[in-house]
Amino acid sequence: MVVFDMRIAIAQIDSIVGDFAGNADKIVRFAVRARAEHAAELVVFPELALCGYPPMDLLDQESFAELSERSLRSLQNRLPRDIAVGVGYVGRNTMASGKALVNSYALLLDGTVAFEQEKTLLPTYDVFDEARYFESARERRVFAWKGERIGIAICEDLWWESENATGFRYAIDPVRELLDRGSTIMLVPSASPFVRGKFEVRRKLAERVASRGGIPVIYANAVGANDSIVFDGRSFVVAPASGSASAGPLGAASLRAVARGFEEDLLLWDSVAGNGKSSPAKAETNELDVIEEALVLGIRGYMQKCGFVRAHLGLSGGIDSALVAYLASRAIGADKLVCFGLPSRFSSEGSRTDARRLAENLGARFVMLPIEGAFEAYLDTLEEVFEGKPFDLAEENLQARIRGTLLMAYSNKFESMLLTTGNKSELAMGYCTLYGDMCGALAPIGDLLKTEVFALCRRINERAIQSDGEPVIPVETLTKPPSAELRPNQTDQDSLPPYDVLDAVLSLHLIDNLSRAEIVERGWTDELASRVVKAVARAEYKRRQAPPVIKVSPRAFGMGRRMPIARSPYEA
């Protein structure tokens, strides 16, 4: 019986896109720790850890590949000895045809590149554009070392046999080939973005491979936020039941160790001891809690990488801005957050009170800036050109734009980052004002449907009880009917279907990609389906000018959903 015998570390790091020097320093630090603290023989870094993921069109610059290669060479000589270091980097395609680059993974050992494997399956759907830059690996080999045979499947390479979003199969199964070549261990360096439920998908895929091959699978995921994408970390090891390496392909595999979620970590797995020196995992059994962590990291990481220390937002007294304020206070600390009340002539007393109370609960500064003065000045200026036409959307949007302008003035004066508070239901239906409430550098909850916003707020209030016995988000904020308060007695349901209905249809249309006719087949009325599908199509021009949203669903607005603006709303 062959017992796989190796001390392996997963270095789950947060790389900054394009920061070769900083990322290399971090790789050295983690490798030194893996060797010194854990006596690891192999340390596995994530996919493209050297340049960060996704580098996007920086890859089109010839200098990027040059820097990548230079950085890898200089890294070789800075790493500790007697430990193999697996590092993802951008290499050059040396074949006669195809894209200029490859998504590569090097095993560095004692000052040399001991082995290299390129990525075979290049995700080109959703937020991924890898076929834009990379050529597929020509071949898949295993690295014989210390009596083991190491196979490397980079992220999507594991995905061949999973149903994926666009429902297709790749022509090649890299993992099958690597198993056929006798891999005794499979490394899966990844930059796999967070999506609800994604950890279980990864784990099952890895377990299937581990069971099929009777070998351990080391899944090293990136962590950190990059624009719309949050990498959740949660790297892990799955392995067959003890001794099952001899049992062959049928040994059932299971989870042996998991790294922290949403922060950097160094996870050690000792194959002989049979289980990992696992980091203490956070209590993240509830998926809403995991989403909360993703959004907090999404805000924190974006701000850090963009160089912002302070943030601010407008508090309407409603649930969306309340949630964003709560998330921001967790991300950067309430002392670096300023909340603005921006009441209009249509704002209720309750809204003002709820906004102020939330800021107090969070411990954030609250500033009241009434918009009436600017509103009157605009109406005066526009009086003649408006030709006495009645109050309508123009006046409603004016108020939202005054708020956006005031918040941006604060941003410019104090170098504070404005957070946008819109949710996905609004963005979908165009129930938001371009250059108004859509102003901001980041839309933290732009991928949460309104019903998901409610669910998350209720969940937060279950845990976050103030010393006065009240929950952190004022109860009234959750119980009153949603309203933009841009005209007298307005509620969202004047303009939109009830949110539970709307979100159900939006989910079918946006996530499942169903057309009007298919939504009707699912039992919704033609009138409702048409109304929603048409509104979504019509609002594309607004979304094109929206800030990045933090992706938590399989299909978020932004780079993962690329729609034409000028088009016929076919089948609508």
Name residues contacting a copy of itself, limited to 326-365 (CB under 8 A): none
Q: Site map for a copy of itself, 125-144, x if CB under 8 A? A: x---x-xx------------
From the CB of 498, what's the least distance to a copy of itself, in Å? 25
- Contact assessment for residue 485 and residue 397, using Cβ atoms and an 8 Å cutoff: no
User: According to the binding rule CB under 8 A, does residue 380 interact with a copy of itself?
Assistant: yes
From the CB of 486, what's the least distance to a copy of itself, in Å? 12
Marked catalytic residue, from 26, 51, 119, 485:
119
From the CB of 504, what's the least distance to a copy of itself, in Å? 18
Q: Site map for a copy of itself, 259-278, x if CB under 8 A? A: --------------------
Reduce the DSSP state of residue 190 to 3 states and report it.
Answer: strand
Q: Which stretch binds a copy of itself (CB under 8 A): 61-69, 112-120, 349-357, 473-481?
A: 61-69
Pairing status of strand 416-418 against strand 310-315: parallel
Of the two residues 21 and 247, which places its CB atom closer to a copy of itself in the complex?
A: 21
End-to-end Cα separation, the chain, in angstroms: 64
Tokens of 343: 């009441």
Tokens of 348: 């209720």
Full DSSP string of 528-559: HHHHHHHHHHHTHHHHTTSPPBPP-SSS-SBT
Among 392, 462, 500, 526, binds a copy of itself (CB under 8 A): 392
From the CB of 284, what's the least distance to a copy of itself, in Å? 24
From the CB of 273, what's the least distance to a copy of itself, in Å? 39
- Contact assessment for residue 85 and residue 31, using Cβ atoms and an 8 Å cutoff: yes
Distances (CA, A) of 182 to 144, 241, 253, 390: 10, 19, 18, 76
d(CA 188, CA 162): 15
User: According to the binding rule CB under 8 A, does residue 366 interact with a copy of itself?
Assistant: no
Clarify whether 198 is annotated catalytic.
no
Among 241, 255, 408, 520, binds a copy of itself (CB under 8 A): 408
Tokens of 517: 């006719």
- Contact assessment for residue 334 and residue 364, using Cβ atoms and an 8 Å cutoff: yes
Clarify whether 540 is annotated catalytic.
no
Instruction: Enumerate residues 542-561 that contact a copy of itself by CB under 8 A.
Output: 544-548, 559, 561
Q: Which stretch binds a copy of itself (CB under 8 A): 276-284, 323-331, 377-385, 475-483?
A: 377-385
Distances (CA, A) of 142 to 151, 220, 240, 362: 5, 18, 20, 54
Clarify whether 336 is annotated catalytic.
no
User: According to the binding rule CB under 8 A, does residue 562 interact with a copy of itself?
Assistant: yes
Q: Which stretch binds a copy of itself (CB under 8 A): 211-219, 274-282, 397-405, 474-482?
A: 397-405
- Asked if omega into 54 is within 30° of 0 (cis), the reply is yes
Distances (CA, A) of 91 to 20, 38, 64, 134: 14, 30, 10, 9
Tokens of 194: 């967070």
Of the two residues 84 and 439, which places its CB atom closer to a copy of itself in the complex?
A: 439
Left (φ > 0), alpha (ψ -120 to 50) or beta: where does 491 sit? beta
Helix (H) or strand (E) holding 185: strand 185-190
> Can you give the length of the chain in residues?
572
Q: How many CA atoms lie within 13 A of 122 on its CB side?
A: 17
Of the two residues 281 and 528, which places its CB atom closer to a copy of itself in the complex?
A: 528
Pairing status of strand 310-315 against strand 84-92: unpaired
User: According to the binding rule CB under 8 A, does residue 186 interact with a copy of itself?
Assistant: no
How many Cβ atoms are within 10 Å of 316's Cβ, its own excluded?
26
Of the two residues 219 and 557, which places its CB atom closer to a copy of itself in the complex?
A: 557
User: According to the binding rule CB under 8 A, does residue 385 interact with a copy of itself?
Assistant: yes
Of the two residues 1 and 171, which places its CB atom closer to a copy of itself in the complex?
A: 171
Among 374, 478, 501, 511, binds a copy of itself (CB under 8 A): 374
d(CA 196, CA 194): 7
Instruction: Enumerate residues 33-52 that contact a copy of itself by CB under 8 A.
Output: 52
What secondary structure letter does DSSP report for 49?
T
Among 211, 351, 397, 451, binds a copy of itself (CB under 8 A): 397
d(CA 442, CA 446): 9
Instruction: Enumerate residues 490-529 that contact a copy of itself by CB under 8 A.
Output: 513-515, 517-518
User: According to the binding rule CB under 8 A, does residue 405 interact with a copy of itself?
Assistant: yes
- Contact assessment for residue 18 and residue 60, using Cβ atoms and an 8 Å cutoff: no
- With CB under 8 A as the rule, give the number of residues binding a copy of itself: 99
- Contact assessment for residue 223 and residue 232, using Cβ atoms and an 8 Å cutoff: yes
From the CB of 402, what's the least distance to a copy of itself, in Å? 7
Q: Which stretch binds a copy of itself (CB under 8 A): 102-110, 197-205, 236-244, 402-410?
A: 402-410
Instruction: Enumerate residues 66-85 that contact a copy of itself by CB under 8 A.
Output: 67
Among 74, 112, 162, 166, binds a copy of itself (CB under 8 A): 166
Marked catalytic residue, from 47, 130, 177, 207:
47
From the CB of 426, what's the least distance to a copy of itself, in Å? 17
Instruction: Enumerate residues 290-319 that contact a copy of itself by CB under 8 A.
Output: 301-302, 305-306
d(CA 141, CA 181): 7
User: According to the binding rule CB under 8 A, does residue 427 interact with a copy of itself?
Assistant: no
Reduce the DSSP state of residue 171 to 3 states and report it.
Answer: coil
User: According to the binding rule CB under 8 A, does residue 252 interact with a copy of itself?
Assistant: no
Marked catalytic residue, from 26, 41, 130, 155:
155
Q: Which of 450, 412, 415 is nearest to 431 (CA)?
A: 450
Of the two residues 52 and 213, which places its CB atom closer to a copy of itself in the complex?
A: 52
Of the two residues 257 and 434, which places its CB atom closer to a copy of itself in the complex?
A: 434
Among 99, 310, 459, 487, binds a copy of itself (CB under 8 A): 99
User: According to the binding rule CB under 8 A, does residue 568 interact with a copy of itself?
Assistant: yes
Question: 180: which residues sit within 8 A by CB, 6+ positions away?
Answer: none
Of the two residues 184 and 397, which places its CB atom closer to a copy of itself in the complex?
A: 397
Catalytic residue positions? 47, 119, 155
